[in-house]
């Protein structure tokens, strides 16, 4: 028999050997996962003998992480803005940076909103959970992602106010919205090569690099900006997450689209992370 503490130490060593940052934290999350307990109960469990089944689950999880699979994909969950979301290899792992977009949106009044490229639904469902009067349309081109978003909508009790729908950006969208949000793919193809294998190998490429990328990663913004005016209600806001070097280019696209009150929002690292602008009445 092996105690929890010894098994954990083994996992940490294996992750360190694979040169992963955050080995200690990751190993704890993966052991709690193998035990099927919440992370805050792990310390107590470290004194216990680990059943063979738990050991096997833990070793499998450690091997996946050592091969750079993201922790969220291994455990199938990720916390975003204080709520748990189901995550699979079909969706982008919700990131803390994207909470900047949530904060910007929640400063505004809105009832009807649209989320373009919803993925796990993290943005749309957080907005619905935070605004009990809101109604959201969440679209994605990936049916596999929409399945994840629908499961998350149900788990968070928001399904009745969420329309989860397949659409190539605006193609299947109807009506006008007080708010349009998006975290579109914005990595330029050359930049993709420089990303950690955790992202480059394991996350869906269609969530990272826009279709018809010209190397800048801006293609999705061009498309969204060109059509947004037809889908925004008077005074409605368009808010998009951006890569930290894309602030000027995306603001220029917002200006060209005739949007007003264009502004940037910064993430916790101080990088420009959101561009927002509103439809002139
Ligand atoms: N922020 C993500 C990353 O750098 C990219 C997400 C996106 O393209 N929307 O990995």
Q: Ligand 1 in contact with 185 (CB < 6 A)?
A: yes
pTM of the prediction? 0.95
Confidence of residue 64 (pLDDT cuts 50, 70, 90): very high
Ligand 1 geometric centre to CA of 106 (Å): 22
Dump pLDDT digits (tens) for 176-230.
Answer: 999 999 999 999 999 999 999 999 999 999 999 999 999 999 999 999 999 999 9
pLDDT at 281: 75
Ligand 1 geometric centre to CA of 98 (Å): 9
* 118 in Cβ contact with 183 (< 8 Å): no
For tokens 């060593």, the residue is 13
Q: Ligand 1 in contact with 176 (CB < 6 A)?
A: no
Dump pLDDT digits (tens) for 248-267.
Answer: 999 999 999 999 999 999 99
Going by the annotation, the residues of the binding site for S-adenosyl-L-methionine are 117-121, 140, 169, 183
Which residue has the CA at smallest separation from atom 9 of ligand 1?
A: 185
Residue 187: strand, helix, or coil: coil
ipTM: 0.91
Atom of ligand 1 nearest to the CA of 217: 8
Other residues' Cβ atoms within 10 Å of the Cβ of residue 267: 19
Ligand 1 geometric centre to CA of 202 (Å): 13
Atom of ligand 1 nearest to the CA of 185: 8
Confidence of residue 171 (pLDDT cuts 50, 70, 90): very high
Could you give the percent of the chain with pLDDT greater than 90? 99
Question: What average pLDDT does range 14-43 have in this prediction?
Answer: 97
Confidence of residue 280 (pLDDT cuts 50, 70, 90): confident
**CA 183/CA 243 separation, integer angstroms:** 10
**CA 278/CA 215 separation, integer angstroms:** 28
Question: What average pLDDT does range 36-46 have in this prediction?
Answer: 95
Ligand 1 geometric centre to CA of 42 (Å): 31
Backbone angles phi, psi at 53, to 5 degrees: -65, -40
For tokens 């940037």, the residue is 264
142, 208, 220, 269: residue to mutate for ligand 1 pocket, most atoms within 8 A of CB: 208
The pLDDT mean for the chain works out to 97
Q: Which residues contact 224 (CB under 8 A, 6 or more apart)?
A: 116, 169, 170, 180, 182, 184, 238, 240
* 209 in Cβ contact with 188 (< 8 Å): yes
**CA 86/CA 94 separation, integer angstroms:** 10
pLDDT at 124: 99
268: which 2 tokens? 């916790």
Q: Ligand 1 in contact with 95 (CB < 6 A)?
A: yes
CA-closest candidate to residue 146, choices 172, 121, 171: 121
Q: Which residues contact 203 (CB under 8 A, 6 or more apart)?
A: 70, 89, 92, 93
> CA neighbours within 13 Å on the CB side: how many for 192?
22
Dump pLDDT digits (tens) for 81-131.
Answer: 999 999 999 999 999 999 999 999 999 999 999 999 999 999 999 999 999
Going by the annotation, the residues of the binding site for substrate are 183-186
For tokens 């975290």, the residue is 183
Q: Ligand 1 in contact with 183 (CB < 6 A)?
A: yes
**CA 198/CA 35 separation, integer angstroms:** 24
Residue 1 has pLDDT above 90, yes or no: no
281: which 2 tokens? 């009445």
Residue 37 has pLDDT above 90, yes or no: yes
216: which 2 tokens? 């800048």
Ligand 1 geometric centre to CA of 63 (Å): 25
Question: What average pLDDT does range 65-71 have in this prediction?
Answer: 97
């Amino acid at each position: 028999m092996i105690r929890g503490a010894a098994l954990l130490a083994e996992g940490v060593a294996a992750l360190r050997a694979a040169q992963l940052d955050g080995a200690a934290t990751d190993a704890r999350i993966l052991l709690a996962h193998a035990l099927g307990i919440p992370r805050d109960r792990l310390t107590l469990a470290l004194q216990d003998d680990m059943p063979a089944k738990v050991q096997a689950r833990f070793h499998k999880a450690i091997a996946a992480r050592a091969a750079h699979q993201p922790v969220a994909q291994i455990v199938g969950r990720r916390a975003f803005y204080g709520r748990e979301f189901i995550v699979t290899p079909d969706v982008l792992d919700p990131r803390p940076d994207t909470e900047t977009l949530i904060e910007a949106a929640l400063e505004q009044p809105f009832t009807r909103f649209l989320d373009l490229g919803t993925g796990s639904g993290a943005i749309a469902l957080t907005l619905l959970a935070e605004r009990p009067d809101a109604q959201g349309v969440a679209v994605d081109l990936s049916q596999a992602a929409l399945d994840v978003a629908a499961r998350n909508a149900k788990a968070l009790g928001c399904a009745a106010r969420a329309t989860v729908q397949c659409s190539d950006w605006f193609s299947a969208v109807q009506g006008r919205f007080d708010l349009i949000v998006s975290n579109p793919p914005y990595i330029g193809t050359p930049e993709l090569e420089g990303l950690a294998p955790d992202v480059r190998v394991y996350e869906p490429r269609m969530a990272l690099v826009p279709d018809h990328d010209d190397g800048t990663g801006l293609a999705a913004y061009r498309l969204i900006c060109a059509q947004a005016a037809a889908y925004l209600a008077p005074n409605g806001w368009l808010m998009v997450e951006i890569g930290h070097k894309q602030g000027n280019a995306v603001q220029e696209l917002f200006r060209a689209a005739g949007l007003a009150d264009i502004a940037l929002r910064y993430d916790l690292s101080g990088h420009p992370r959101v561009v927002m602008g509103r439809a002139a009445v």
